[in-house]
Amino acid sequence: MKVTLLGAGAWGTAMAVQAARHLHAEDVCLWSRNAEQLQAMAKSGENHLYLPGIPLPKNLLLESDFAAAVKRLGSDDLLVIATPMSGLAQTMALVLQVAQHPLNIIWLCKGLEPATALLPHQVVERENHLHGRGLKHAFGALSGPSFAREVGAGMPCALTVASTSEQLCKSVQAAFHHDNMRVYSSDDLVGVELGGAVKNVLAIAAGIGDGLKLGLNARAAVLTRGLAEMMRLVKAAGGKSETCMGLTGVGDLILTATGDLSRNRRVGLELAAGKSLDQILSSLGHVAEGVLCAAAVGDLAKRLNVDMPITAVMGEVLAAKLTPKEALKKLMGRDPKMEV
């Protein structure tokens, strides 16, 4: 099978490396809109900009022509959208305009569309309605606890692909389930996507707690009560709350809230240190999806009448309506209630 990945950031590059380790010469194609970046990658044999120190397999095809990257795929092949959430709608629209036959399409981004609070698959459905031209593509999301650097280095990792298409799930597993990566399948697209969105917001909260030196007890409370918020939202949105107990929920939450490679955790740490959000984001160099989707998660919770106090105060902190210490005081001042 052939695989094309659209987006040569850290995550897209890492997953291209993972696929190319297993598939044959030029079966895996990595596309970037930045031709200069691709030239530098071809020359150096690594992605210095986003994933330095990880060698690119020699059989990985680098492509700057978008149409060529998409049209090389047949109906049994796999297209992977590896852009941030902010680029999903535009990239999907372009894919649908270029596609000449039905494709297997998955996305790696996590979060909600800020302006609409739509989940990734809802964004894709909207774009397919506008640009799909009647072709019956198969869609899905690939998510789970994964830092790009560790995946690129070939360290053990487990992910979940979610789709209503069993064949799409099998295609994703054929592409990526090998060596040190396991890929499980699920039909709960809502649960998988919402877990990936909410955990980023909770990771900022955990980072703030650690930055304020509130202790390990406080971190455990944030993660546990945050997981309860996630489960309530998933159930209200039509997903399965038990999905939150798997890789894309509690697994990804633990990683993102405690791992030193987590950009969302770093945002929380630096907010606790008194830095402004603008200062933090300008120094990151990468997208922190929790910042972009916190307000949208809050909007969705209000729309579905779901109580999410930790998520709500994180939205206020990120909007500069509360300081981290004021957020803590607000949370700790809530009335007692039953845990379940």
**Which residues are catalytic, by number?**
199
Task: Print the SS3 string covering 287-316.
Answer: CCHHHHHHHHHHHHHHHCCCCCHHHHHHHH
Give the phi and the psi of residue 286 in degrees, each rounded to 5.
-135, 165
Query: How far are the Cα atoms of 192, 205, 250, 276 from residue 121, in angstroms, in the given order?
Result: 11, 26, 21, 33
Strands (E), the chain: 3-6, 28-31, 46-47, 51-55, 61-63, 78-81, 104-107, 138-143, 157-162, 181-186
Residue 48: DSSP 8-state:
T
* Stated length of the chain: 340
Query: How far are the Cα atoms of 205, 315, 324 from residue 268, in angstroms, in the given order?
Result: 6, 12, 9
Contact call for residues 40 and 48 (beta carbons, < 8 A): yes
Contact call for residues 203 and 222 (beta carbons, < 8 A): no
At 61, is the secondary structure helix, strand, or coil? strand
Contact call for residues 310 and 214 (beta carbons, < 8 A): no
Residue 169 to residue 112: CA distance in whole angstroms: 22
| Residue of 96, 174, 185 lying closest to 142 (CA atoms) | 185
Residue 22 to residue 9: CA distance in whole angstroms: 21
Residue 104: DSSP 8-state:
E
